[in-house]
Each structure stands twice: as structure tokens, then as C-alpha cells.
Structure 1
């Protein structure tokens, strides 16, 4: 009798994240996951319990890595509006360069599962909260430096930036012309 195939659970979560990101939660079958992870269904369920439990791990992995990367970009030095523009345009370029146009897994999850799935909604809200907090801190820095009108509510502006970011990421999944979204970024930054 052959030995059972060994696998690294961290690698498996990463691979599952790619499948969920490409197909969405509902369209991903256990067979899709088995094929991507290269393990049997029994091993999949033994290691992760369920498709849903694996999805939650994958969404957490995405949230932690993507939010950390975005916050790191926002915390670099330089003029605030330039940093914001660079980050927003980088995300758009990434979205348009992806042949599958996967967009953002968190945004996709919010659109697919919405309020009807409280655990997924909570994970997405936590990611959005982390990003909005980073936007607020950056805007407050811009206010202290005189780049952004200090009489404006930094928390409200951070909410506007987050809503715009979510809209940009979702729109980029279907938009043919990236110039349209770049103009929206420029208009947003001009409004600050």
C-alpha cells in the first residue's frame, strides 16, 4: 500500500485562495479544490473540515497579505496626494494586467456573498477598516503638512477613498478602457 500524499497546509491555503479568487465561492467545487491542491477529498476535509472553512482561511490570508501591502505603500515617504495616486493607479494597473480580471478577492466576496453571509462580511469589513484607517492616517498627515485642507473631516474623506477604491476594483473587472478609471482617480484627488 502506498503512503498518503503529504502536503503543506499553508501552501494549500494559498492555492485554494487562487481558486476562490478566480471562480468565486459559490462556483468553486470541492473537486476544483482537490485538483488545485493535488490531494484527495478525504485529505481536504480532514485538513480543513469543509469548503467553507478553507474559504475563510483563504480570505483571511488574502486580507492579511493585501491589507499589509497596501498599508505599507501608503506609509512610504513623499507627498500625500502623490502616494495616494500611485497606490490607486498601481491597483488599477494590476487589475488591468490580470488576464482573468479577478479584481480584489475581498471586494468580490462582498459583491457575491454580501450581508447574507455574516462571517465573510466580517472578514471583509475588517480588511476595509484596516485600509480606511490607513487612509485616515495618511490624510491627517497631509492636513498637518498643509497638502489637504485641515477643515475637512479626515475620517469622512477616508471613507470616500475606501468607497472609491472598492468601486474602482469592481469596475476594473469589466471596464475596457483604463483611462476612464485613471480620470476618476485624478478627479478624486483633485477634490481633496
Structure 2
């Protein structure tokens, strides 16, 4: 009979997610993971199978957290444009407050792998689809309330918002002040 695990795999996935987010997949070696997670090589491979399988778990955790966060930011009451502006401000403030300027793990993954890995591409695309769907639902709510012109293409506006968020997250990796991001947010909301 094998020895019982001396670590919590759920905590290990969280720690791995933070490391992959900070360093990227390619720069994170199995030894880095072993050192950070405080586990033996055998435990890493017996529990997670491979670095890639651990990355898949970490990316899935990140995507689930992001989707929940977006849904939470967009839900609620009040004018749609105010809720959208608040959500975009939270994204900008969160990214600018990160001392490591990690940006978005999903975008980082898309940039690191491009379309060379179908599984990773599909996971990132699924996140984009879900966020765009949440934006579309909110835009349609605004159209029904008369806050957004019902003649505008809700799907196109949702794609614009998704692109805006992704661009802002990339910009926040190098911006030192929020001025430019706030201009992007204000202009985007005005375009609706």
C-alpha cells in the first residue's frame, strides 16, 4: 500500500495556477513546480500525470474563476451602461494593482500557444464565448430597457466589449497609470 498524500491536490493546483500565470507554461519547469508545491517528483507525476495535465487543471480553474467573476460583475440592478462601466473599471483596477502585471492567464496562453494546441485554444475560445454571451445578454437587457438603441447589433457590441476587455488586459501589463484605460472605458461605453 502506498503512502497517503501529504499535500492537498486542490491547493497544489491553485499554487501551480499562480506559477503558470506568473511565468507562462514554457518557463515553468517540472522542478519549479516541485519546489513551489513542496512535493516530490513522484507525487507530482502520480497525482497530476504530467506538467501539461497540471497546466490543464490550472487553466480550467482560472477560466472558471474568471467566468464567475464576470458574471458577478455584470449581474445586479441599475442601468446597464453603469454596470458595464463598473465591470470594466474593476478589470482595469485589478490588473493595474497586480505587482507582477501578469495580465490574463487565458490571453497569455493564447499568445504563448497561438493555434498550435487545439485543446488550449478550445478552452480559451470557450471562455471568450461565455464572456461575450454575458455581454450580449446585458446589452439585450439594455436594449429592452431603452438604454441602448435596439437597432444596434447586440452580438457585434458584445464582440466589441470582449475585444475591449482583452485589449485593456494586455495594455495593463505595461501601463503605469489608469488614464489611458479609463479613456478606453469611457469611449467604449459612449459608443454603446
How does the TM-score come out when normalised to structure 2?
Answer: 0.96
2:110 is matched with which residue? 110
TM-superposed deviation, 1:118: 1.0
Alignment of 1:32-111 (within 5 A): 32-111=32-111
8 A contact 1:21–1:105 mirrored in 2: yes
**Unpaired runs of 5+ in structure 1?**
none
| SS of match in other structure, 1:27 | coil
8 A contact 1:22–1:102 mirrored in 2: yes
1:180 is matched with which residue? 180
Work out the CA distance in 2 between the residues paired with 1:34 and 1:83.
42
| SS of match in other structure, 2:115 | helix
Large movers: runs of 4+ above 4 Å: none
TM-superposed deviation, 1:114: 1.2
Work out the CA distance in 2 between the residues paired with 1:34 and 1:80.
46
How does the TM-score come out when normalised to structure 1?
Answer: 0.96
TM-superposed deviation, 1:7: 1.1
Alignment of 1:143-154 (within 5 A): 143-154=143-154
Count of residue pairs brought into register by the alignment: 190
Aligned: 1:16 with 2:16: yes
Q: CA RMSD in A?
A: 1.1
Q: Deviations 1:102-121 (Å, cap 9, x if unpaired)?
A: 11111111111111111111
